[in-house]
Chain A
Amino acid sequence: NAGVTQTPKFRILKIGQSMTLQCTQDMNHNYMYWYRQDPGMGLKLIYYSVGAGITDKGEVPNGYNVSRSTTEDFPLRLELAAPSQTSVYFCASSYGGLRETQYFGPGTRLLVL
């Protein structure tokens, strides 16, 4: 199993541009998550999904959108990039239930100039 994969690894965007961060998992997990991590800080939850077709906001959803059309994929969309969105983005997945463990991808480093 590849686990959780993310693309791209690194991207530079200009202010106002848009892009989609890709996340795929091959563990047949129901739950998927997007976090951002600013330098020296902990992770903050952006959006999560409990299954295909179901998504919900996390702690910091403004400026982002998500969709979950399949169990495997959970893309994160930035519509109008802003410098405040410069961060490292981590996707994670878990099987589900009260005692689930989250498995993280390697991250996407985004720089907005």
Chain B
Amino acid sequence: DAKTTQPPSMDCAEGRAANLPCNHSTISGNEYVYWYRQIHSQGPQYIIHGLKNNETNEMASLIITEDRKSSTLILPHATLRDTAVYYCIVRPRDNYGQNFVFGPGTRLSVLP
């Protein structure tokens, strides 16, 4: 059962920043926050992950609140190709820790 909650859908204008929120109020101290996206019919694509510090890479920025109970994925200049379902995932803390639980995600539509 998913440990995160995300809005089911969002719209963003092309060229503007897309800010996708995620709540993970039960996150544990050693659990990371991962973001993946899935463009229609393709396999999920890794975007970014973080523990407690803000992170940035060539695709996006990840802002994690100080209490770690929520985070925001930021696509700084959204393009039409960023239209996809975005998944926020908290990695469970079982011994193997291999399970990535993908919830329904947020369907982001970038509009021209």
> Chain A nearest CB: distance from B45 CB in Å?
7
Cβ–Cβ < 8 Å partners of A88 in chain B: 41
Q: Given A33-B98, A50-B96, A56-B96, verify A41-B42 contact (CB < 8 Å).
A: no
Query: Which residues of chain A are within 8 angstroms of B100 by Cβ–Cβ distance?
Result: 33, 43, 45, 102
One of A63-71, A74-82, A103-111 contacting the partner: A103-111
Instruction: Find the A residue at minimum CB distance from B46.
Output: A101
When each residue 45-83 of chain B gets 1 if its CB lies under 8 Å from chain A and 0 otherwise, what string results?
A: 110010000000000000000000000000000000000
A selection of 27 A-B contacts at a CB cut-off of 8 Å is A31-B98, A33-B100, A35-B102, A42-B87, A42-B101, A42-B103, A42-B104, A42-B105, A43-B44, A43-B102, A44-B102, A45-B99, A48-B99, A56-B96, A58-B99, A59-B99, A59-B101, A88-B41, A92-B43, A98-B97, A101-B46, A102-B44, A102-B46, A102-B100, A103-B46, A104-B45, A105-B43
